Amino acid sequence: MKTKKERAPAGLSMEHLARVAETLKLLTHPRRLKIIDILARSGSAPVYQIAQELGLASAATSQHLNQMRRVGLIAARRQGREVRYAVCDPRALTILGCIRKSGGHS
C-alpha cells in the first residue's frame, strides 16, 4: 500500500485534455495534415505556395491556416509583402512522423 508521500501524480486536467482534443480535432482533416507535411518539408511557406500544393483556392487555404494558427500549431511571420507560415508546435511533427511510419507517405 502506498503512503501519502508515495501517491501517484494527479491525472491530466480536463482543461489540458480539452485543449489537446481541440488540436487533435483540427489534425483529423486531411488537408490540414497535408499543410503540416508541406511546412515540415519546406520550413516555411506563403499561402499561395501552400494553396498550389493543396490544389485549393488561397481563401480556403487561409481558413485552414487560421484555424491551425488559433490553436498554436503554426505561426505566421511577415517577410516583406508575404506572410510565411511555419510549424511551431513540435507535437504536430510528431503526429506526422507517426503517420509516415505507418506507411502513409507516397
* Residue found by looking up cell 512522423 in the block: 97
For residue 53, being part of any structural domain is answered with: yes
For residue 3, being part of any structural domain is answered with: no
For residue 106, being part of any structural domain is answered with: no
For residue 43, being part of any structural domain is answered with: yes
55-58: long-range pairs with CB below 8 Å, 24+: 56/31
For residue 7, being part of any structural domain is answered with: no
Rg (CA), the chain: 17
For residue 57, being part of any structural domain is answered with: yes
Count of domains observed in the chain: 1
38-42: long-range pairs with CB below 8 Å, 24+: 39/74, 39/85, 39/86, 39/87, 40/87, 40/93, 40/96
pLDDT tens string 18-66? 988 988 888 889 999 999 999 999 999 999 999 999 999 999 999 999 9
For residue 70, being part of any structural domain is answered with: yes
- Residue 37 belongs to what domain range? 29-94
CATH classification of the domain holding 56: 1.10.10.10
More confident residue, 100 or 64: 64
Single-letter residue type at 91: R
Average pLDDT of the chain, as a whole number: 88
Residue 7 pLDDT grade (very low, low, confident, very high; cuts 50, 70, 90): low
